[in-house]
Amino acid sequence: MEKLQAFDLVLFGGTGDLAMRKLLPALYRRFIAGQFPAEARVVGVARGDLTRDAYRAQVEASCRNHAVDGFDVAQWVAFAERLHYVRADGARPDSFGDLVQFLRGREAFTRIFFLSTAPTLFAGICDQIGSAGLATSLSRVVLEKPLGQDLTSASQINAHVGAIFSEPQIFRIDHYLGKEAVQNLLALRFGNALFEPLWRRGRIRHVQITVAETLGVETRGPFYDQTGALRDMVQNHLLQLLCIIAMEPPATSDADAMRDEKLKVLRALRPIAGRDVLNKTVRGQYKAGAAVGKPVVAYLDETGVPADSTTETFVAIKAEIDTWRWAGVPFYLRTGKRLQEKLSEIVITFEDVPHSIFDAEARSQSPNRLTIALQPKDSITLTILAKNPGETMRLKPVNLSLDLADSFKTRQLDAYERLLTDIIKGNLTLFMRRDELDAAWRWIDPIREGWQQYDGPPKLYTAGSWGPAAANSMISRDGFSWNGET
């Protein structure tokens, strides 16, 4: 395992949910894998008055809870030696004195400022990093999503961050891009010649991207109510998946070559504005129902959600890409909370045969499909038609399936493990560039404006269903149905 260069990782929001559940356990696993050099340190930063020991006890509990290959006490003791805690307030100017002290004399090491706090603090934290003189030429800043609420607020944050850090020092996280399955999508598309001739209009009928959750808003009601599914999921995760499916082959796997191609896709998305939202989008909100067999309350009864909220917990969109490759191929996007299953998948449906030699009884209505599952399992399935065994000729869909975890028999890196090592190495490929983010907001903002101007309240759906009936009507108007539903 390749050792990383020496670093200080300054984790703002080091006591928060994301840090405890994902980031610190991921760092601990990379430590166990032997990737930490002797000089590496991790320092949690927050406002709380915690001793180093108290902080280490919190992190230990969370690393125990999120251990993947068991918890190793000796390794933990060694990791804890690298773990520190410093108090600072990102919203109060001149509160970084202790952090300055902590980092003094370490200018020769890679310095990573990971901002795992509310995005409203990003500008203030960067201003203080700048005024305290902490940004060195070897520094990087990592920004958790959501980056702003719209193009205007995202631009303001980016301007503050950009005043202290240059673009190659800025790592905007979309943790979906760190998933092994997303990497596999790149391998499938650009490592195999097989699919390329088929990867276009005339061969592909439509594409569906679904990211479904069974969870509700849990403890994050106030945050979610200000955000909604369009900004929380579509603006980043679903659009990034769409880009990887639709992008032209880049000349190299270099970060900017990849990001240039993704940007072209975002810029070619046909705008959905004004009354278009009524035909090309559906927004929904869950009412009481059941999640994984247990009764659950309506969104409006969740803690921290106003009783008259019109925030969407579900979105379906028909996206179109105006390029030679994709003209006329709809990309149906769908995401929501409290849906029937936890599922992330991309389904590519190919054109049907131009003429069937089989009689009506033998035929099947199933066109070929390529299903790339990201969750719950990382798998690739090609659905083809074969003859059903027996006397008569009857075609039936069968699956050629590749379970990636099973095939390689090695533990897959968690998305944050991969992203954190990439950040430390300075590899920007899996992070969003500012122009990509701006282009995504430019496409998203008119949808929200259209909803405000022309759409009624969100369509209600029962928790535990697949969303509002209107999402089915939207796709069936084109003669299709959502994968798994007929």
> Any idea which residues carry the catalytic annotation?
237
Nearer to ligand NAP, 173 or 298 (CB): 173
The length of the chain is: 486
- To ligand NAP, the closest distance from the beta carbon of 91 in angstroms equals 4
Nearer to ligand NAP, 13 or 250 (CB): 13
- To ligand NAP, the closest distance from the beta carbon of 44 in angstroms equals 8
Distances (CA, A) of 453 to 235, 446, 468: 20, 10, 21
Nearer to ligand NAP, 225 or 455 (CB): 225
Give me 269's structure tokens: 């998305």
Angle at 353 between CA 350 and CA 357, to 5 degrees: 155
- To ligand NAP, the closest distance from the beta carbon of 47 in angstroms equals 3
Nearer to ligand NAP, 19 or 207 (CB): 19
Nearer to ligand NAP, 147 or 321 (CB): 147
Nearer to ligand NAP, 90 or 178 (CB): 90
Phi-psi region of 144 (alpha: psi -120 to 50; beta: other; left: phi over 0): beta
Binding site for ligand NAP (CB under 6 A): 12-19, 46-48, 89-91, 116-119, 121, 144-146
Q: Which residue is nearest to ligand NAP (CB)?
A: 16
Nearer to ligand NAP, 121 or 300 (CB): 121
- To ligand NAP, the closest distance from the beta carbon of 270 in angstroms equals 29
